[in-house]
Every structure is written in structure tokens, then in C-alpha cells.
Structure 1
């Protein structure tokens, strides 16, 4: 789960940074996680765009046609009689993690923060799966305060 979240959040809208805009930064990201081969940077962007779109991201980067299908090589090995997914490259590892979470029924708990200007991916641990923001202390508080100010301004007018 942490690998998938880290990959989905390689772009930080608030800071204006994107690991996938720089080959050296992408290599460091992959090496820091011990994921093997770096693979193609354009394919990494396509995989991230497709995964985030499947989570419902609606941003200027995703406007237009649906993202192209993305693929990565995943191998299934038997280790002591237990099937294990593995990959020799970073994208296969990320897609393998996503597939595992989908099979376990956890995929729908991955969401994109609804706060304006955040778009951080997070895992919704709430019982009823209704969480809207990556952090109630930051994004949720900002959004609720903004909505309150807007309602108050309308009632005063």
C-alpha cells in the first residue's frame, strides 16, 4: 500500500514538484525503494496518470481523452508453495501492488483529496469509506473554514 501511495504522490501540486519530470529524481525514487530497473520515464508518467484517473482525479492534466492503458511486467513465483508477485522493474512493482490491493478489495479505499490545490492520494481508513480529504487537520480544516466563511458572507449580505 505504501509503495502505491508513494508512487501516486510523486507529483506534489502544492509544492509544484514532480519526481517524474526529472530522470535523476526518478532514478533516486526507484533506488530508494530498491525496485530494480527504472524503466521508461514516459511510461511511468502514463502509469501514474492512468492510476490517478481510475481514482477519480479531475485535473487539467487529465482533461481530454482517457489516459492510455498502462502495463508493467509482473511475474508470479512460488516461494515455499505460496504464490508471490514480483517484478524486475519499478512500474511492474507498482502495478503489482495495485493489482494485489484490487484483489484484496482495498482499491476503492484509495482516493484523491478533494481540497482545491491538493490532489494528494490517500488511503481512506474510515469505517464508511466517506473520507474526502487527505488530512482533516490540513485540507479538511481549510475546506470547512472556507465553506463556513462563504455561508456566513451569504447570510450577512
Structure 2
């Protein structure tokens, strides 16, 4: 799951950085995880499609399409295992494992416009909305409070 979240978070809205902006930064990211880098376009398409599948806001949705990464299957007495050959294949294999285990819906994208961080919802009822209640959740609560306070305030004039 860590690999998947790390991949989804290769774009950082708050910092204004994107690992997939250049071949070099993408290759370094993959090499740091001992994985061969796919072509940059493949990585970007996979990340955008996975972020959309995880609930990225409507303005940031990408087309979800079939990705055909090099992925082998190994059989052993322990069972069937996916054997990815590249970084994108490893990420997609992790996403597939989460899906088959019923955990994919716990991968979410923070709705805060200046965040959009991918996170794992560990709440018992899968209802967590923010990557962090201390940061994004608190900011939204303050905004909502201010909006309610200003709209419900009544001004009275005395003459």
C-alpha cells in the first residue's frame, strides 16, 4: 500500500512539485524503490487514472483506460502471486491486491483544493474525508464556521 500511496503522491499540489515532470525525476523515484522505470507517459497516465479511480475531484479527473504493464503471474504452493516487471506494474499490482481484498475504497484523495494528497482511510466505517483533521479538516471546519457565522449574523440599525 505504501508504494501505491507514494506513487499517487508523486504530485504535490501544496508544494507545486511533480515527480513525473521529467524523465530524470521519474527514473530516480523508481530507482529509489529498486524498480525499473516505465516510459514517463505510461507513468503519468497510470497515476492520473489511479487518482481518478480513488476519487480525485471532478476538475482533476483523467480518462480511465486499460493499461497493459509487463506483469507476470507466478504459481506456488502458497498461491498465485503477481510479479511486476516495472514500477507502474508494481503499483498496479498493489492496487489490484487492494481491490481483491476489499480495501480499494480506503484509498482516497483529500478534497482540499490546496492539498489533494492521497491517503489510506483507516476509520472503522470508512468515512474519513480529509488527509489530516489537524490540517485540511480543521481548515475546512473553520471555513464552514465562518460561512455560517457571517450568513446568520443580523445587523440592526438604530436611528
| TM norm structure 2 | 0.90
Match of 1:53 in 2: 52
Match of 2:75 in 1: 78
Match of 2:5 in 1: 5
Task: Confirm whether residue 99 of structure 1 aligns to residue 96 of structure 2.
Answer: yes
Q: Distance in 2 between matches of 1:132 and 1:117?
A: 15
Question: How many residue pairs get matched?
Answer: 154
CA RMSD after TM alignment? 1.6
Pairing 1:121-140 to 2, within 5 Å after superposition: 121-140=118-137
Larger Rg: 2
Shift of residue 61, structure 1, vs aligned partner: 4.1
Gaps of 5+ in 2: 155-159
Gaps of 5+ in 1: none
| TM norm structure 1 | 0.91
Aligned to 1:144, the other structure's residue is in SS state helix
CA contact (8 A) 1:113 1:134 kept: yes
1:89 to 81, 86, 89: 86
CA contact (8 A) 2:46 2:88 kept: yes
